[in-house]
Amino acid sequence: MRRILIATSNPGKLRDFAGAALRHGVEIAGIPEFSSLPTVIEDGLTFEANARKKAEAYSSYVPGEIVVADDSGLEIDALNGAPGVHSARYAAPDLLYKEPHEADANTDDDANNARVLHELKDIPSAQRTGRFVCVLAVARDGKTLATFRGTAEGIILDALRGTNGFGYDPLFYFPEIKKTFAELTAEEKSKYSHRGAAFRQFLNWSDAI
């Protein structure tokens, strides 16, 4: 079975990758001693810039290994694409997440969801469209080999629904299956999610090299 190293300490992302890996017969593993490695500051302006930065930095600690890093977030149309690359710290005061040196001060999922609900309080359901975006960067020995982008289109609800998943999953309603992402098992989420879509592209690419 193929083994892929994932550069993340986010248990929600790991659960998603494990769900996707199960469906495709690959084994995923974290980078050894990941939590003791220096944190990569996510100050890029795009998902791709941050994903590349993480993959390049973390792959330099595991010579010769293929490392996959994910940068992802929620883009809400009525908020001009916010929270976007700031999704992990949307509840922080604006100045905090705009300062590059503070860019990794993530905020709590509940607080981030509360801010989304607040920002959308006057927006009717038909205009509450948005998407999850995931960019995966694959690197070896400090160099990016490829990037893959997956998206999932949905509606942002006006109350939380479901207890699985992480982040904005309980607010993200996926019309195709009439459920929020927080109402899915990890395996189901990998079928419909932005992360699952990007991961499948990565697997096709890695089969071909």
Residues lying near ligand IMP in the complex (CB under 6 A): 10, 42, 70-74, 87-88, 112, 132, 165-169, 181, 193, 195
Spatial distance between the Cα atoms of 74 and 102, rounded to a whole number of angstroms: 20
- Closer Cβ to ligand IMP, 35 or 64, answer by number: 35
71 carries an active-site annotation: yes
Adjacent-strand bridge partners of 69:
137
- Closer Cβ to ligand IMP, 42 or 66, answer by number: 42
Unique residue bearing structure tokens 């990037």: 147
* Least distance CB 150 / ligand IMP (angstroms): 10
* Least distance CB 64 / ligand IMP (angstroms): 25
Identify the DSSP state of 127.
Answer: G
Q: Give SS3 for 156.
A: strand
Query: Which residue's Cβ lies closest to ligand IMP?
Result: 167
Cα dist from 183 to 57, 107, 160, 161, 194, whole Å: 34, 23, 11, 7, 16
Single out the catalytic residue among 16, 71, 109, 169: 71
* Least distance CB 208 / ligand IMP (angstroms): 26
- In this structure, are strands 2-6 and 67-76 parallel, antiparallel, or unpaired? parallel
Q: Give SS3 for 72.
A: strand
Give the residue among 123, 125, 113 at the shortest CA–CA distance from 83: 113
* Least distance CB 193 / ligand IMP (angstroms): 6
- Closer Cβ to ligand IMP, 40 or 208, answer by number: 40
* Phi, psi angle pair for 40, to nearest 5°: -90, 125
- Closer Cβ to ligand IMP, 73 or 130, answer by number: 73
Catalytic residues: 71
